[in-house]
Amino acid sequence: GESVGLHLPTLSVQEGDNSIINCAYSNSASDYFIWYKQESGKGPQFIIDIRSNMDKRQGQRVTVLLNKTVKHLSLQIAATQPGDSAVYFCAEIFYGQNFVFGPGTRLSVLP
Amino acid sequence: DVKVTQSSRYLVKRTGEKVFLECVQDMDHENMFWYRQDPGLGLRLIYFSYDVKMKEKGDIPEGYSVSREKKERFSLILESASTNQTSMYLCASSASGVSAEGYTFGSGTRLTVV
């Protein structure tokens, strides 16, 4: 469905702490999920993905958790660094090629 | 690495002008997409194309058109720019049988219509 609101949710964390960014998705037919990172002035970059038959996937310093029961996706960043400051958003993919993007969360890392 | 290049980073145009946003990809991808990105609304699909000379409407095609005369180039056209088209425009491309990692975005064009 469409998101509402003209502002971006912001999460502020201390450098070195863990960050958790959440995303709710809408389509129970979605079979693939992606997290993107978008730095200021740049296009979105792929971070990590997860298929619907999994509930957890780990990358380097990042973990994605999927809860299909409540249609919820989260991105955990361990030991957050200043370079992690960006907008993060999720995407759900259904029928193999239809992308629906979340509105995004701005992560600010405090020194 | 796949490169998706958008010709302009910043554009300022007047209301009523015809505006062309260009996107070129260098990996022989079949699929190309145009999105606009607005705070709190996420990325919204304007138009997409699965092949040369093919185009499909996305979720918000009104006020836009596209052109795909060559496989590597996908142009977004604002026939008569309006202030509500002020936004960040993102182009993306992917191969057929898309995998998430193969879905690549350009750096975006920030368009301001005054």
Q: Is the pLDDT of residue A16 over 70?
A: yes
User: pLDDT value at position A7?
Assistant: 65
Cα–Cα distances (Å) from A44 to A29, A62, A69, in that order, read 24, 17, 28
Q: Are the Cβ atoms of B100 and A34 closer than 8 angstroms?
A: yes
The span from the CA of A14 to the CA of B28, in Å, is 43
Q: Is the CB of A43 less than 8 angstroms away from the CB of B108?
A: yes
The lowest-confidence range among A10-14, A77-81, B39-43, B63-67 is B39-43
A58 has a pLDDT exceeding 50: yes
Q: CA-CA distance, B108 to B5, in Å (whole number)?
A: 9
User: What does residue B12 show for φ and ψ, rounded to 5 degrees?
Assistant: -125, 125
Q: What are phi and psi of A44, to 5 degrees?
A: -65, 140
Residue B82 in contact with partner chain A when CB distance is under 8 A? no
Instruction: Name the residue of chain B whose CA is nearest to A37's CA.
Output: B105
Strands lying side by side in the sheet with A19-24? A19-24, A72-77, A62-67, A56-58
For residue B55, which of B39, B31, B79 has the smallest C-alpha distance?
B31
Put simply, the answer to whether B41 touches A2 (Cβ < 8 Å) is yes
Whether the CB-CB separation of B88 and B38 falls below 8 Å is answered with: yes
Q: Is any Cβ of chain B less than 8 angstroms from the Cβ of A45?
A: yes
Over residues B68-95, the mean pLDDT reads: 95
**Does the pLDDT at position A3 exceed 70?**
no
DSSP assignment of A95-110 equals: TTTEEEE---EEEEEE
Report chain A residues whose CB lies below 8 A from the CB of B4: 43
Which residues lie below 8 Å from residue A30, measured CB to CB, with a gap of 6+? A52, A92, A93, A94, A100
Q: What is the pLDDT of residues A35-47, one digit of tens each?
A: 999 998 889 999 9
Helix (H/G/I), strand (E/B), else coil: B41: coil
